[in-house]
């Protein structure tokens, strides 16, 4: 089973808006038994994309510290040769079949719930 997808496309880059969207989506997905989530934070505007990615990863760092998620992996480390990617694959072996596995895609962040 591949990861469920949460898209941040078209939302405000304000960290509170990003945090609300991600927390709400991850909570709902966890309740229905989803184990892995791919967050898409791509945007046609590079500045917006950078801000979305930073806000997303800052929130996930906080959620990890609060034990709200098990792990997360920036897309550029999502592969077999990076510690974060290996950790995600151990958590959910199906992630090795994900189209972004080993592609160093900076437009995504993977989350283990």
Full-model pTM: 0.92
- Both tokens of residue 11? 């939302």
Give the domain ranges of the chain: 4-112
Query: What mean pLDDT is predicted for residues 25-39?
Result: 96
Question: What confidence score (pLDDT) does residue 1 get?
Answer: 55
- Both tokens of residue 64? 């990890």
Assign 96 a pLDDT band (cuts: 50, 70, 90).
very high
The DSSP line for 18-82 is HHHHHHHHHHHHHHTT--EEEEE---SSHHHHHHHHHHHHHHHHHHHHTTSSSEEEEGGG-STTS
Query: What mean pLDDT is predicted for residues 54-60?
Result: 93
- Among 106, 86, 83, CA closest to 95: 86
Fold of 4-112: Ribosomal Protein S8; Chain: A, domain 1 (3.30.1370)
Question: What confidence score (pLDDT) does residue 56 get?
Answer: 93
């Amino acid at each position: 089973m591949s990861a469920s997808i949460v898209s941040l496309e078209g939302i405000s880059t304000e960290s509170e808006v990003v945090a609300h969207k991600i927390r709400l989506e991850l909570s709902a997905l966890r309740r229905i038994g989803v184990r892995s989530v791919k967050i898409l934070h791509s945007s046609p505007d590079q500045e917006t994309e950078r801000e979305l990615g930073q806000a997303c990863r800052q929130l996930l760092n906080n959620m990890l510290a609060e034990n709200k998620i098990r792990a997360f992996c920036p897309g550029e480390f999502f592969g077999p040769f990076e510690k974060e990617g290996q950790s995600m694959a151990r958590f959910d072996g199906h992630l090795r079949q994900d189209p972004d596995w080993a592609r160093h895609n900076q437009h995504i962040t993977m989350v283990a719930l």
